[in-house]
């Protein structure tokens, strides 16, 4: 009898397993695939960042090195080597998770986990079936790429993010359906390598869940590297013939339009993975969107079964899943942890990077909250000018009366890292003045956050 069994070994699952083991629980983790780590480590966060870094090096070599005084006569993109390096990064990371399971004495079962009852889980693999029993269970099965009705993913020319990470050639023209994070990141990889990228989006802008200004600024930057954007277009079909993919759509005037490319990346988001888990055998309920329904303790309607990560409500983010994994482990142990979901940052790993935490201006306006705004552009940053990364800005939203920081939205160099300072500030209810009066090292990108806070506090940024 295990104290805890976890179905799924992605960031939510493996982090929960480690924390449970640290708290003295006898822990088992069940993973269908031979490699641990889930989508994030194998076909998501880690491999995409590896390719993004490789393609960014290539782009800089062909576009900015000469300005820096670095002359290279022949430059060639070797996609096979990029993919090989990416696979190596994935392998090292996955091996690290395997080591952590062993270090923490966590039993790892490979196979398909499904409930037999509220305490018994059947594990099915090529060798047969095995049943284990656990006092508590955490469902951490993550998500799968979503698709549109009538579109068949052939995994060759009509692909998802999984296949886009392993192309053997650089596309000449990639059509991307969806202007969200995944499509823009993977589109960036191939645009930097020379591909034309056409983004078809149903709504009126990219990264639609983030601050409107961020999407507009990112659009300007991506157009510079070969992106084209088509908004308010409803995709009606995708057909692959030979080496050509044809995407049909209707624009906002109801007119039929076509887009042709050699690859079509379908990236309209992801959906919770709950299939074949035998949830009905345990009596676990789903919500109206097919996700596992949980309460504020991430507990299902069955008191000894919990769920975390993409399979439950909220943003589908690896770091959100990790926080939930720790939260559930400590809750089961009788502790009283907390998660402030408003303070979970969102990041887009394009270049410039996009990052945000807290409320957007649109949300504050709807709520009727009175707020102040401070904006500082990276073109006024000495560090950004030194590195030729002057696109973007930092925007700070603060309460008009108390000066407490309500939201921070940024696009620019290393914003994926800078946002952590904003998260820390908001977690401790810092004011714009608090951050503005903290000494930031010079010259750094983080000074842009200080300056934006100065602008929000008393409209007195120093360097603009």
The yes-or-no verdict on residue 110 having pLDDT over 90 is yes
Residue 409 has a pLDDT of 98
Domain final residue, candidates 244, 268, 292 = 268
Segment 28-42, tens digit of pLDDT: 999 999 999 999 999
Is 248 contained in some domain? yes
For position 376, which CATH number holds? 3.30.390.30
Active site residues: 442
pLDDT tens per residue across span 254-301 = 999 999 999 999 999 999 999 999 999 999 999 999 999 999 999 999
The verdict on 284 and 260 lying in the same domain is: no
Query: pLDDT tens-digit profile of 116-170?
Result: 999 999 999 999 999 999 999 999 999 999 999 989 999 999 999 999 999 999 9
Q: Are residues 177 and 225 in the same domain?
A: yes
Domain span at residue 126? Answer: 2-144+271-341
How many structural domains comprise the chain? 3
CB-based contacts of 169, cutoff 8 Å, min separation 6: 79
Return the CATH number at 247. 3.50.50.60
């Amino acid at each position: 009898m295990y104290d805890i069994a976890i179905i799924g070994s992605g960031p939510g699952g493996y982090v929960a397993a480690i924390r449970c083991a640290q708290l003295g629980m006898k822990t088992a983790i069940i993973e269908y695939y031979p490699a641990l780590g889930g989508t994030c480590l194998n076909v998501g966060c880690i491999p995409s960042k590896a390719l993004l870094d490789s393609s960014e090096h290539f782009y800089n070599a062909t576009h900015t090195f000469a300005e820096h005084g670095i002359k290279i006569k022949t430059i060639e993109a070797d996609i096979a080597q990029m993919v090989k390096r990416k696979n190596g990064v994935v392998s090292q990371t996955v091996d690290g998770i395997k080591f952590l399971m062993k270090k923490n004495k966590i039993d790892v079962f490979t196979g398909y986990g499904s409930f037999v009852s509220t305490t018994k889980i059947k594990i099915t693999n090529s060798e047969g079936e095995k049943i284990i029993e656990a006092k508590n269970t955490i469902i951490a099965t993550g998500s799968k790429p979503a698709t549109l009705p009538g579109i068949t993913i052939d995994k060759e020319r009509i692909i998802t993010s999984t296949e886009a990470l392993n192309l053997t050639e650089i596309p000449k023209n990639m059509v991307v359906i969806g202007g969200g994070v995944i499509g823009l990141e993977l589109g960036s990889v191939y645009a930097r390598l020379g591909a034309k990228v056409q983004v078809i989006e149903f709504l009126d802008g990219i990264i639609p869940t983030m601050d409107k200004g961020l999407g507009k600024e990112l659009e300007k930057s991506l157009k510079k590297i070969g992106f084209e954007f088509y908004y308010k277009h409803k995709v009606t079909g995708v057909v692959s013939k030979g080496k050509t993919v044809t995407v049909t759509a209707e624009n906002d005037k109801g007119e039929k339009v076509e887009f042709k490319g050699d690859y079509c990346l379908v990236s309209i988001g992801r959906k919770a993975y709950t299939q074949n888990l035998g949830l009905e055998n345990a009596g676990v309920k789903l919500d109206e969107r097919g996700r596992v329904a949980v309460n504020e303790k991430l507990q299902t309607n069955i008191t000894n079964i919990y769920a975390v990560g993409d399979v439950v409500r909220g943003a589908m983010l690896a770091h959100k899943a990790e926080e939930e994994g720790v939260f559930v482990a400590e809750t089961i142990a009788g502790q009283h942890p907390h998660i402030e979901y408003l303070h979970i940052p969102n990041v887009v790993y394009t270049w410039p990077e996009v990052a945000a935490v807290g409320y957007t201006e649109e949300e504050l306006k709807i709520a009727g909250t009175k707020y102040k705004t401070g904006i500082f552009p990276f073109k006024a940053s000495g560090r950004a000018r030194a590195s030729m990364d002057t696109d973007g800005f930092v925007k700070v939203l603060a309460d008009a009366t108390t000066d407490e920081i309500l939201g921070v939205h940024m696009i620019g160099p290393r914003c994926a890292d800078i946002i952590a300072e904003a998260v820390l500030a908001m977690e401790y209810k810092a004011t714009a003045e608090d951050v503005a009066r903290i000494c930031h090292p010079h010259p750094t990108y983080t000074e842009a956050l200080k300056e934006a806070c100065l602008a929000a506090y008393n409209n007195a940024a120093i360097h603009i």
